Copies of this chain bind each other. A is one copy, B any other.
Amino acid sequence: MDRSKTYLVVGLGLLGGKYAQVLSGKGYRVLGIDCDPAAVQYALDRDYIAAGAAADFAPLLRQADRVIFALYPTALLRWVEQYGDLLRPGTLVTDVSGVKRGVVGPVQAALPAGVEFIASHPMAGRETSGIAHSAEVDFAPANFLITPTARNTQAAVDWCRALAQTLGFARISVLSPAEHDRMIGYVSQLCHAIAVCLMCASDNTELARYTGDSFRDLTRIARINDKMWAELFLWNKDNLIGEIDMFETALRALREKLAAGDREGLEEMFRLSTARRQAFDKKQQDAAPQP
């Protein structure tokens, strides 16, 4: 990746902070913007960024050749509308958003001519948030997804892939915004919805002493950033509602077999779930990058 370019990270939270840390650590010139002065100072103190600002962004924007938006989707759209015109022609821009259909088109349309937005999603979120937790993020085992549209050039896709490699992602995929959102609705959002509902269903905190690995695993992600996940769910609600409905149909089937004392029917569901889970493990091993 071109070391003569200046990188600007907009949003110094968990992921923006990590991007800045890794890129600076590898010798790239990185600038940073955040509306919270403490986040900017944190990044400056640790040399995650060479310069930063919590207001009056124009001077930094004029220096940027490559921009990474590490904002929630709604904030990203607002930011681009407000400051997008300050970006120079020739600038390449990407993001970190966990939903794509509602973001990619509007951002591409809002940016000035000559500024290209190539969307991407580093699937490396955690239960924690904020730049103070950035150092804990591990990109190596995570997926990096690039979601180009017809308006993107191959050069921008190639840059985005090089960025992911520089950041340390070993698993990089290219798919459409629609494919991305459908996939994320099942693989991530449905899982978070289930974990949240398991905790919300009843107040069973007096049972904490009896919980084992199963319960802990299923509810780990019930500790959730409320603002961000409400956004992610709402931007993808058609897909997520579809997944919830399919899941609920399966749950009702299991409940009916249980109520009817249908042992064979239950065993059949258990064999199907076991076979599919084994296939997942197998496919995941096949897809893993070779050392």
CA–CA, A280 and B283, complex, Å: 34
List chain B residues, Cβ under 8 A from A187.
204, 207, 210-212, 214-215
Whether the Cβ atoms of A226 and B274 lie closer than 8 Å is yes
Kindly state whether residue A224 has any CB partner on chain B within 8 Å. yes
Given contacts A212-B123, A261-B234, contact A251 B218 (CB under 8 A): no
Report A's interface with B, CB cutoff 8 A: 123, 142-143, 145, 171, 173, 183, 186-188, 190-205, 207-212, 214-215, 217-227, 229-231, 233-234, 237, 240-241, 243-255, 258-259, 261, 263, 266-274, 276-280, 282-284, 287
CA–CA, A287 and B204, complex, Å: 15
Whether the Cβ atoms of B251 and A244 lie closer than 8 Å is yes
Please give me the residue from chain B that is nearest to A278 by CB atom: B223
Given contacts A209-B171, A272-B200, contact A277 B223 (CB under 8 A): yes
List chain B residues, Cβ under 8 A from A263.
230-231, 234
List chain B residues, Cβ under 8 A from A268.
226
Given contacts A196-B273, A215-B188, A251-B197, contact A283 B202 (CB under 8 A): no
Whether the Cβ atoms of B254 and A193 lie closer than 8 Å is yes
Whether the Cβ atoms of B266 and A233 lie closer than 8 Å is yes
New A-B pairs, 4, CB < 8 Å, besides A191-B198, A197-B250, A205-B280: A186-B204, A187-B210, A205-B279, A222-B277
Whether the Cβ atoms of B283 and A209 lie closer than 8 Å is yes
Whether the Cβ atoms of B269 and A210 lie closer than 8 Å is no
List chain B residues, Cβ under 8 A from A255.
241, 244-245
CA–CA, A215 and B276, complex, Å: 13
Q: Which of A190, A194, A273, A282 has the most CB of B within 10 A?
A: A273
List chain B residues, Cβ under 8 A from A192.
214
26 contacts between A and B (CB under 8 A): A145-B210, A183-B207, A187-B207, A187-B214, A188-B215, A194-B251, A195-B273, A196-B269, A197-B269, A197-B273, A199-B277, A200-B250, A202-B243, A208-B282, A208-B283, A214-B220, A217-B221, A218-B221, A222-B274, A224-B273, A226-B267, A229-B270, A234-B261, A234-B266, A237-B258, A248-B251
